[in-house]
Amino acid sequence: MTDTAISESVKNYYGEVLKSNQDLKTSACCTLDAMPWHLRPFLTDLHPEVVSRFYGCGSPLPPALEGQTVLDLGCGSGRDCYLLSRLVGESGRVIGVDMTEEQLAVAKKHCDWHAERYGYARSNVEFVHGQIENLASAGIDDNSIDVVVSNCVINLSPDKRQVLTEIFRVLKPGGELYFSDVYADRRISEALKLDPVLLGECLGGALYWEDFRRIMQELGCPDVRVVKENPISLDDPEVAAKIGMVNFRSVTVRAFKMPLEDRCEDFGQVAIYKGTIAEHPHGFDLDDHHHFETGRPLRVCGNTADMLGSSRYAEHFELIGDKSTHFGLFDCAPPNTSRSLDSGAACC
Ligand SMILES: C[S@@+](CC[C@H](N)C(=O)[O-])C[C@H]1O[C@@H](n2cnc3c(N)ncnc32)[C@H](O)[C@@H]1O
């Protein structure tokens, strides 16, 4: 199947086959990943039609978004865009890109409804029809975006490297990529990749985690942090019979557009979280093994210091030390996981 045929198959699945998330055959596109507690009240302010066509596999909604420009790749019916609309505030901007007209039509229909609900003079969200492999044709300029998010979409792309290349093109230096997607614990055979149901259910196109890590490294991002992950159960017997030998997980990752090293190096640096992100007064989680308790100094590797000091999180941290003296490798081991992620690379 050509890339175009894969895109057409995905468009057909999200435009014609699925009418709401009740029609999904597995939980892959819609895991019950707990929404962060501070965002749960916002769910009641979303239009029901938008929610009924939500097919995300996580909650890729990072903190400290006030005034930011956020791009949502494969925004679908716009659930995350409308949550982000609230999080960036009236001075911020949200752009959603999707290739399926039926999904975009639902998203666009409710722009004014949400603006009114949030008390905004006019909507700060715009929805653009386009391919996430070619964001230039969707009008997204180089170095123009503060934060790129995406929820269960990149697995559907026939050219994931191109999508990730585009993300790093459009992000501003120091910008953040924060997205949830489905990953496999092995490479999936070509035959299974092309099965329209497995593809549409976000399984057939799932990247083997190590291949994702390699692509990111080749694109200049050697340190990807895992924020959260959940196993995916294959409840549909037909789907399980086809692909049951593969283990799938939905993973939320965080990465930055900045020069980082491929291993965690120790320069004797210390970071202190100031507790100044309103929704996180007591602590901040950079990833699944870096919890910064408010006010408590924590030794960090050079990469972590750069992520905190050269991104929008800088104003929320006091960083002590620089890179003038090197003390060797930093012991920054992640927790043991079944992702087979223990690649010996950086902190992630
Ligand atoms: C699993 S749904 C997720 C939608 C949305 N992020 C959500 O959480 O509800 C996947 C969406 O990605 C869109 N999509 C898939 N591949 C795409 C591509 N290459 N370019 C643009 N949109 C794409 C589909 O049209 C569909 O709306």
In this predicted model, what pLDDT tens digit does every residue of 245-301 receive, in sequence order? 999 999 999 999 999 999 999 999 999 999 999 999 999 999 999 999 999 999 999
Cβ of residue 154 lying under 6 Å from some atom of ligand 1: no
Secondary structure letter of residue 248 according to DSSP = E
- The reply to whether 76 and 195 lie within a common domain is yes
230 in Cβ contact with 33 (< 8 Å):
yes
Question: Residue 185 is part of a domain; what is its CATH number?
Answer: 3.40.50.150
pLDDT per position as a tens digit, 167-187: 999 999 999 999 999 999 999
Is this model's pTM higher than 0.95 or not?
no
- Among 209, 238, 256, residue at a domain's last position: 256
Report the pLDDT value the prediction gives residue 254, as an integer from 0 to 100: 98
Q: Which amino acid is at 149?
A: V
Q: What is the mean pLDDT of residues 85-109?
A: 97
Residue 341 lies in a domain: no
- Parent domain of 291: 261-335
Q: What is the mean pLDDT of residues 186-215?
A: 93
- The reply to whether 161 and 302 lie within a common domain is no
Residue 43 lies in a domain: yes
Output the average pLDDT for the chain. Answer: 91
Question: Residue 299 is part of a domain; what is its CATH number?
Answer: 3.40.5.100
CA 100 to ligand 1: nearest atom = 25
- The reply to whether 74 and 112 lie within a common domain is yes
- The reply to whether 139 and 65 lie within a common domain is yes
**Least confident residue range of 26-35, 42-51, 256-265:** 26-35
- Other CB atoms within 10 A of residue 270 CB: 13
pLDDT per position as a tens digit, 252-267: 999 999 999 999 999 9
- Among 222, 256, 290, residue at a domain's last position: 256
Pocket test for ligand 1, best of 6, 84, 156 (most atoms within 8 A of CB): 156
Residue 342 lies in a domain: no
Residue 238 lies in a domain: yes
Residue 344 lies in a domain: no
Cβ of residue 26 lying under 6 Å from some atom of ligand 1: no
Query: What would the DSSP string read from start to end of 314-331?
Result: GGGEEEE--SSS--SB--
Residue 28 lies in a domain: yes
- The reply to whether 252 and 265 lie within a common domain is no
Residue 270 lies in a domain: yes
Q: Is the confidence at residue 53, as pLDDT, over 80?
A: yes
Q: Alpha carbon of 72 to those of 3, 177, 202, 307: distances in Å?
A: 22, 10, 17, 21
- The reply to whether 26 and 100 lie within a common domain is yes
**Least confident residue range of 32-46, 50-64, 121-135, 206-220:** 32-46
Residue 74 lies in a domain: yes
Report the pLDDT value the prediction gives residue 217, as an integer from 0 to 100: 98
Report the pLDDT value the prediction gives residue 348, as an integer from 0 to 100: 40
- The reply to whether 87 and 227 lie within a common domain is yes
228 in Cβ contact with 267 (< 8 Å):
no
Q: Please state, in angstroms and rounded to a whole number, the distance separating the CA atoms of residues 159 and 7.
A: 10
- Among 256, 284, 307, residue at a domain's last position: 256
- The reply to whether 134 and 70 lie within a common domain is yes
Pocket test for ligand 1, best of 98, 134, 179 (most atoms within 8 A of CB): 98
- The reply to whether 14 and 144 lie within a common domain is yes
- The reply to whether 286 and 195 lie within a common domain is no
Q: Which helix (H) or strand (E) holds 106?
A: helix 101-109
- The reply to whether 183 and 314 lie within a common domain is no
Strands, DSSP E only, in the chain? 69-73, 93-98, 125-129, 145-151, 171-184, 207-208, 225-231, 248-256, 269-273, 283-287, 290-293, 298-300, 317-320
Using DSSP's 3-state secondary structure scheme, residue 303 falls into helix
How many angstroms is it from 127 CA to the middle of ligand 1?
A: 13
Q: What is the mean pLDDT of residues 119-124?
A: 97
Q: What is the mean pLDDT of residues 112-124?
A: 97
How many angstroms is it from 28 CA to the middle of ligand 1?
A: 13
Report the pLDDT value the prediction gives residue 32, as an integer from 0 to 100: 52
- The reply to whether 228 and 248 lie within a common domain is yes
Tell me how many domains the chain contains.
2
Q: Is the confidence at residue 34, as pLDDT, over 90?
A: no
